[in-house]
Structures are given as C-alpha cells and as structure tokens.
Amino acid sequence: MLGFGILIILMVIGSPIAFAILLAVFGHVSQTPFSFGLVSQRIFSGIDSFAILAIPLFVLAGELMNESGITDRIIKFANALVGHTKAGLAQVNIWASVIFAGLSGSAVADTSALGRIFIPTMEKEGYPRDFAAALTAASSVIGPMIPPSIPVIIYALITSGVSVPALFLAGVAPGIFLAVGLSIYVRIYAGHYAPLRPKLSAKERLKAFVDAWIPLFMPVFIVGSILTGIVTPTEAAALAAGYALIAGIFVLKSLKVSSLPHIFVRAMRDSSVILIIIAVVAAANWMLTFSRIPQTVSTYVLGEVTSPWVFLIMVNLILLVVGLFLEGIAAMLILLPIIHPIAMSLGIDPTHFGIVVIFNLMIGLVTPPMGICLFVSNSIANVGMGAISRRIMPLFLVELGVLILITFVPQTVTFIPKLFGY
C-alpha cells in the first residue's frame, strides 16, 4: 500500500510518470526482504531486449524523413488528392496524417511536424485557429495506427505472443476509418469556413505523385519485408532508418550531413523518454507479479465477467478514463500485464484486442486534461487549452464512434491480417 500511495501522490502533484513509478517501486520494496539492488537489475532487464531496438530506430527514421523535407511532399500529394473538395485544406490535413503515419508511427511527431504547417495555413484560408489546432491533434491519432507503429511494437513486447506483422496489418483499417470519419465531419461542419480551392491539373497531380513516391514506398517496404519473413521488426526498423538516410542524402539531396548530429540527438532524446518508462515499468510489473496482483485481479474478473463483450465494454471504459491522465505507452505498460491474460482467457482474438487497446489509449493523446498532442498543438497555435479542448470534443466523438465500431465488429480489424494468413 505504501508504494501505491506514493504513486498517487506523485501523479497528483505532476511528477513525471517514470519517476513516480520508480519511487513507488522503491517504497514497496522497502517493505519486503528484497534489496534495492534488485530493482536496478529489473530495470536493466526491462530494456535488455533486441526487439526494443526497433523503437529508437523508428524514431530516428521519422526524424530523418522530417529533416529531408518529406513533409512538404506529403502535403502536396494529399492536396492533389482532396485539396479541391469541400473543406479542402482541412481534408488535406487529415489525409496528410495518413501518409505521414507511414513514416513516424508517432502521434506526437505527426502533430509537431504537420501542425507547424497546417495551423497557420488553415487560419489564412479562413479556418478558426483553434479549429485548425484541434483538427491537427485529432488526425494525429491516425499516426500510431498505420504501420510502422511504435505503440504496436511495445504492445507486442509486453504481451510476448502477439504477432507484430498481424498488428501492423490490423491497424490499417481503423486508421482509414478514422480518416474517413474525420473527413465526413469536416465536410459537413467546416465546409463554410473557406471557399473551394481550384482543382489541380492532371500534370500537376502526376508531379505530386512522382514527388511523393519515396514516402509512399517506405511503409510498403517496411511492412512487406516483415511479412515476407526477410527481416524481423527490429531489422525492419534499421532498414527504415537506412532508407530514410539514403533517400535524404543521395536521392532527394535535401538532407545535409552537417544536420545529422542534431537529428541523432533529437532521436536519442525522444527515444530515451520511452525507454525510461519501459525500464521502470518492467520493475513495477515484477513487483506486481511478486505481489500476485494480476492473478488476484484476473481471478476476480473471471469470476464476475463471463461475456467477452461485457469485458470489452469494461476495458474500454477503464482505458478511456486512464487515457485522460496517463500517456498511452505508460498506460499499456502498467495495465496490459493485468488485462491481456483475462482477454485471452475469455477467448478474445489477441490481434483484435491489441488494436482496440492501442486505439483507445491513443485517443487519450487528444483528450484533456493530459492529452499530449493537445499540448503540442496548442504550443504551436497558442490559443489556450480551453479553446482547443472545446473544439476537440466533436472530433473526439468521431474517434469514439470508430472505437465502438472496431470493438464490436472484430472483422473490421482482423480481415486484413487474415488475408495474409495471420
């Protein structure tokens, strides 16, 4: 109980989640016969994994792509596809996120990279600045769904049995559903903000496609190499970083060698945040397992809940609340060792359950009061959290609708993996 009390107090006062968990673990260990040195061992073993190398490598690949000017090519291609439709620039914002998702696998990277371009540009065309900021944040949820995806890799690491290629494939449909849902919303409710934009000529659209072939090919290259068994997900991450480096320096010639030190520093900084959380949560999970908390919770839930659908509803409600206060990856690391075995005991498809959990927690990135993507978007727009939070609510309802769809119609998630034999 001492460890739990420390965790709650530190979270309430706003301590970083990794340090809150670590101090909670030390508090618990102080009441056991174990030494504090065992905590250090568990922290190290938590990141002593070849598969975890995929995380910093995918982060590095995204940074290299951003620095290479790939973002501009993505936006021009999305503009060629939907820029001339009703609420055209808002539609471009959404579908640029779909394409950008295949490069970074991170919602925060999506918000930061695209927000700096779209928020001021949409405001110039007549969209309210707070709406542009909210839409940029909401569409960034697509980032972790369409492969490659950092949360998917972490989910597979925690559960150590769910196929990464299957999860990659399963995330495609929910990502597209969300893009379509957001597009319908902005077409209906935001079309009056700006006049129709001129349609590009066939020559201009062809040029936009030719310029975008490098970012478009990257996710196909990564996922295809995994599906064919040529490489593991970690090796695919290394290929992605190499692909981005070669494309930026030798093909596009827009990436300067002198910029590489700064790029590597940013990638290491962003990766270290994730890895620190993974390490300390590994120690916390050891503590929970030793205390038999997951087993106790599983026994209780299985005694009370016998329907998979009731369990899915319960999990979704819990995760939506947790997502208000905890970052998605941290929430996964804490909760998955408890809820995943229960889901498997109830016969829920592991791929379906994984995507439901990931999608749910990614929605937490855009829900106040602790939505990270809201903070990033507001840091660019500077409209105030109150204004952006009001604008995000209708978009949140769209995302909630997609969550309900993929929860209760598992085939929307599993049909693509099944086509490939997973």
Q: What is the mean pLDDT of residues 189-201?
A: 83
Phi and psi torsions of 377, nearest 5°: -65, -40
Q: Which domain holds residue 131?
A: 48-419
Number of Cα atoms under 13 Å in the Cβ half of residue 350: 20
What is the rounded radius of gyration, in angstroms, for the C-alpha atoms of the chain?
21
Within 10 angstroms of residue 409's Cβ, the number of other Cβ atoms is 12
For residues 100 and 216, what is the distance between their CA atoms, to the nearest angstrom? 9
Report the chain's terminal Cα–Cα distance, integer Å: 42
Question: Of 413, 309, 326, 410, which is closest to residue 361 (Cα–Cα)?
Answer: 326
Tokens found for residue 307 = 């329907």
Predicted pLDDT at 196: 80
Tokens found for residue 308 = 């998979």
Predicted pLDDT at 288: 72
Phi/psi region, residue 126 (left: phi>0; alpha: psi -120 to 50; beta: rest), is: left
Identify which has the larger pLDDT, 392 or 379.
392
For residues 322 and 276, what is the distance between their CA atoms, to the nearest angstrom? 20
Predicted pLDDT at 302: 67
| pLDDT one-digit tens code per residue, 264-296 | 998 888 788 778 877 887 787 777 767 766 667
For residues 392 and 398, what is the distance between their CA atoms, to the nearest angstrom? 10
Is pTM beyond 0.95? Reply is: no
The answer to whether residue 89 sits within a structural domain is yes
Contact 71, 116 (CB under 8 A): no
| pLDDT one-digit tens code per residue, 211-240 | 888 778 877 888 788 878 888 888 888 888
The answer to whether residue 42 sits within a structural domain is no
The structure tokens 């055209």 sit at 88
For residues 88 and 83, what is the distance between their CA atoms, to the nearest angstrom? 4
Cβ-Cβ contacts under 8 Å for 403 (sequence gap 6 or more): 316, 356, 359, 360, 363
The answer to whether residue 4 sits within a structural domain is no
Residue 249 reports pLDDT greater than 80: yes
Farthest-apart Cα atoms in the chain, separation: 74
Predicted pLDDT at 37: 79
What is the chain's percent helix, strand, coil content, to nearest 5? Answer: 80, 0, 20
For residues 111 and 92, what is the distance between their CA atoms, to the nearest angstrom? 14
What band does 6 get if pLDDT is binned at 50, 70 and 90?
confident
The answer to whether residue 308 sits within a structural domain is yes
The answer to whether residue 59 sits within a structural domain is yes
Q: How many structural domains compose the chain?
A: 1
Contact 128, 142 (CB under 8 A): no
| pLDDT one-digit tens code per residue, 67-116 | 887 777 888 888 888 888 888 889 999 998 888 877 766 787 788 778 88
What is the number of helices (H) and of strands (E) in the chain?
A: 22, 0
What band does 11 get if pLDDT is binned at 50, 70 and 90?
low
Cβ-Cβ contacts under 8 Å for 154 (sequence gap 6 or more): 55, 274, 278, 329, 332, 333
The answer to whether residue 12 sits within a structural domain is no
Residue 252 reports pLDDT greater than 80: yes
The answer to whether residue 7 sits within a structural domain is no
